[in-house]
Amino acid sequence: MTTDSAADFVGGPAGERQVPFYCPYCGDEALRPAGAQEGHWDCTSCARSFQLRFAGVLS
């Protein structure tokens, strides 16, 4: 069985900013893109789903 890493799913310029390298809940790297919108991810290790989004630039 092969596992796809988050680096395999990097899209365009905006996609680079939204690629997590580990799950924020369990710390594992078994992540897969989920949903139709960019920024949605599923962790196959802990069975949690999360979303990343750009909040803004600090001044």
Q: What is the pLDDT of residues 3-54, one digit of tens each?
A: 555 455 444 445 456 688 999 999 999 999 998 888 899 999 999 999 988 8
- Owning domain of residue 24: 6-51
Query: Is residue 58 situated within a structural domain?
Result: no
- CA dist 8 and 19 (Å) reads 10
Determine the pLDDT at residue 37.
81
- On the question of pLDDT at 56 being above 50, the answer is yes
- Classify 24 in phi/psi space as left (phi over 0), alpha (psi -120 to 50) or beta: alpha
Determine the pLDDT at residue 12.
46
Q: What are the E-state strand segments in 1-59?
A: 31-33, 40-43, 49-51
Query: Is residue 36 situated within a structural domain?
Result: yes
According to DSSP, the residues that pair with 50 across neighbouring strands are 41
Number of domains in the chain: 1
Query: Is residue 57 situated within a structural domain?
Result: no
Determine the pLDDT at residue 42.
95
Give the pTM.
0.63
> Among 42, 24, 23, 22, which Cα is nearest to 32's?
42
